[in-house]
Amino acid sequence: MVDARGLSCPMPVLMVQKAMKSKEDYYEVLVDNKTPCENVTRFAESQGYKVAVEEKNGEFLLKISK
**Would you tell me which residues interact with other proteins (CB under 8 A)?**
5-11, 13-14, 17, 33-35, 38, 42-43, 45-46, 58
By beta-carbon proximity to other proteins, the closer residue of 14 and 52 is 14
Q: How far is the CB of 52 from other proteins (least distance, A)?
A: 15
By beta-carbon proximity to other proteins, the closer residue of 13 and 29 is 13
DSSP label at 4?
-
Nearest to 15 by CA among 26, 30, 25: 30
| CB contact set of 59 (below 8 Å; sequence gap of 6+) | 5, 30, 31, 32
